[in-house]
Every structure is written in structure tokens, then in C-alpha cells.
Amino acid sequence: MPRAETAYGHNWAVYKCTSCRLLVLAQSRLGNQGTKELEKVYPDVESVEEDIPERARNYLTQAVGSIHAPDGAAMLAGSAVDAMLKAKGLTEGTVYNRIDQAVQQHILTQEMGAWAHDVRLGSNRPRHADQDDPHVTPQEARQAIEFAKTLGTVLFVLPNRIANRGNGNS
């Protein structure tokens, strides 16, 4: 794609995403010896917090990266939720049981438990090729990802930030 440089030392480039085929705009600053340092990408690149345990973070990162395929993204978001519950020590029984145990142990609120069940059911539809409603909409996949990211923040990111407050590691 064409590139444009301005008199102020910025470089702009337009790329086509190989996954979704939409356009991405990148802004970089021209550094010393003509190097280009990436400053901003439009739309923003969605990331997953490092404080989320590796297995759950891996599922969630894949869900974010596959949002163009809603069925797959929803299944991966459901797996991320399950991996987070397992990281909290809830390893027995089914995902259904683990969600209920998390509510009983006050790891999740009642409302978060209800949403976790919605994500679980949404991820089951394509996984089990539901006869009546097998596919997840893009909006449902996005909601499942948002819940998984929020759950990761509540269970892992915020507790880590609180534990590290005042020591410069937040």
C-alpha cells in the first residue's frame, strides 16, 4: 500500500489484515538513522493482560485473534473461562459444576456466574453442532470475549496490581 511521510517526521502506512481483510492504518515516527518506531495502529490492537495465567491467556489470545470466525472465538473464550476456574483450583466435575462452585465459594458473584453459564452455553452450541441454533453471532462472540477478559481482570489482574501497589510494579 502507498506510504506517506510528513514534514514532521511521521510515517503513515495502510495495510490489509490477512485475517479479516480489513484495512489497518499504522503511524510511526522516523528515528535516528532513518529507523521507524511504531507509535499507533488504528484500529487499536486488542491485547490480553499478562497477569492472566498462561493457559487461559493462550485461549483468550486465540479468541481475540479469531473474532472473524465467531463460532471458534466463542469456543476459545469458553475454554479461557474454564482454564481460569481451573487456575483458581476448581478442577473437579464439569464446567457447569465449576461455575456453580465458583459462585458458592464467592469467587464469582451470582451475576458473574450467570454470565459464565451464558458463555459456556454459547461455546457449546458450535462445539456440539446444536440442531436448532448451531452458530454464534459476531456480537455473541464479542460478548464472550469481553466476559473472559473481564473475568481475567477480576480474578488475576486486579489482585496482582493490588499486591504490587506501592512497589513500582503496577
pLDDT at residue 54, rounded to an integer: 98
pLDDT at residue 8, rounded to an integer: 59
Average pLDDT over residues 16-25: 80
Asked whether the beta carbons of 144 and 122 are under 8 A apart, the reply is: yes
User: Does position 4 have pLDDT exceeding 70, yes or no?
Assistant: no
Asked whether the beta carbons of 18 and 24 are under 8 A apart, the reply is: no
The Cα–Cα gap between 127 and 7 comes to 53
| Cβ-defined contacts of 64-67 (< 8 Å, 24+) | 64/145, 65/19, 66/19, 67/20, 67/138, 67/141, 67/142, 67/145
pLDDT tens for 31-47 read: 666 667 788 888 777 78
User: Does position 6 have pLDDT exceeding 70, yes or no?
Assistant: no
pLDDT tens for 100-142 read: 999 999 999 999 999 999 999 999 999 999 899 899 999 999 9
Considering the entire predicted model, what is its pTM?
0.76
pLDDT tens for 46-65 read: 789 999 999 999 999 999 99
Class of domain 54-162: mainly alpha
C-alpha cell at 59: 485461549
Q: Where are the domains of the chain?
A: 3-42, 54-162
Select from 86, 65, 87 the least CA-distant residue to 76: 65
